[in-house]
Amino acid sequence: MLFLVAVSFRGMPPLWALFVVAVIFGMMDAGFWPAAAKFEQDLVAPDQYVQSNGSLMVASQTTQIVGPALAGVLAATGHFDVIIALNAATYGVSLACLTVVTTAHTTDAPAPADTASVLGDMTEGIRYVLRTPLLVVTSLAAFVVNACLAAVMVAIPLLAHQLHGGAQGFGWTTAALGLGGALGAVVFAVIRLRRPPPRMTLVATGLEGVLFLLLGLAQHMALAIFVLGLVGLAEVAVNTLAPSVNQQIIPARVFGRVISVTIVLMSGSEPLAKAASGWIIAQIDVSPVLWWAGVLEIAISTVAFFVPVVRAYSAAESPQSG
């Protein structure tokens, strides 16, 4: 970000600089999320995972609403260097906050010999996932669910255009997603939901699939905006419940290594889904993308829900129970 600040002082930063920063940011992001999930696992008790993830979602949804609005106001003045500098400063604030946070001692933390090799860590993570049928099922389900969501995100701007909403209509669809997500985040931050089973996540993804179907059937902009508000709520439910389940079923000693593998499995479908969505929209229409995404997400959620290892799961048997 400091590099981007330096090249933006003369006005709009060059396109190549944005590509460089995007690549570096993506690489760093891949390491940040597993580390953040492990850090959170050490901070709170298992019974508080849902509330903790809900609180994080409150912060995330709030910044996604306030941040673009503030950036839009500053962009209108042409001060792109100020926008980028402020963004860079937020990383400094985050770093300062993290330096004063202490975690509880983890009894099953990895010994130094366990982390001697990056390749060894990756191999152990893959082996653990393959030896744990529950993680295989939930990761493969997430692979499909993330593909469906990625395809829908490509379709939303074109749906707004098709429903004659224009730029303002697209803005309202984005706002609806953010507001629905913020509402859902507050709910999960407040309620005390102890150790949710994987089936609860699959119910949320199945309902999200139903909403995608309804979105594909929408003939009016107002209805599409309303449904997208519900989609935002459902997506926050998934993003709160899924990490809470992972934090309770993966032992702390291997959590970082295992969650890195599951993230690769879960997110690997997104680029292909976005490309496929764009091609289908160009060749056919927007609505089929939404219909197929809905049907596929409902199908994978239903199948995974009835897999024996998912149905037989008991929170009392998880590594984090105590």
User: For residue 22, how many C-alpha atoms fall within 13 Å in the half-sphere facing its CB?
Assistant: 7
Please write the tens of the pLDDT for every residue from 236-270: 999 888 888 888 888 878 888 888 888 877 778 88
pLDDT at 148: 95
Where residue 192 falls (left for φ over 0; alpha for ψ -120 to 50; beta otherwise) is beta
Of 185, 271, 302, nearest to 235 by C-alpha is 185
d(CA 33, CA 110): 19
d(CA 148, CA 246): 21
Q: 105: which DSSP letter?
A: P
Please write the tens of the pLDDT for every residue from 9-36: 666 677 777 778 777 777 777 677 777 7
Q: 191: which DSSP letter?
A: S
Which residues contact residue 202 at a Cβ distance below 8 angstroms, ignoring those fewer than 6 apart?
A: 141, 301, 304, 305, 310
What is the set of domains in the chain, with CATH numbers?
Answer: 2-103+115-316 (1.20.1250.20)
Global pTM reads 0.76
Which residues contact residue 78 at a Cβ distance below 8 angstroms, ignoring those fewer than 6 apart?
A: 11
Point out the residues of the chain with pLDDT beneath 70: 1-12, 30, 68-69, 72, 75-76, 78-79, 103-116, 118, 315-322
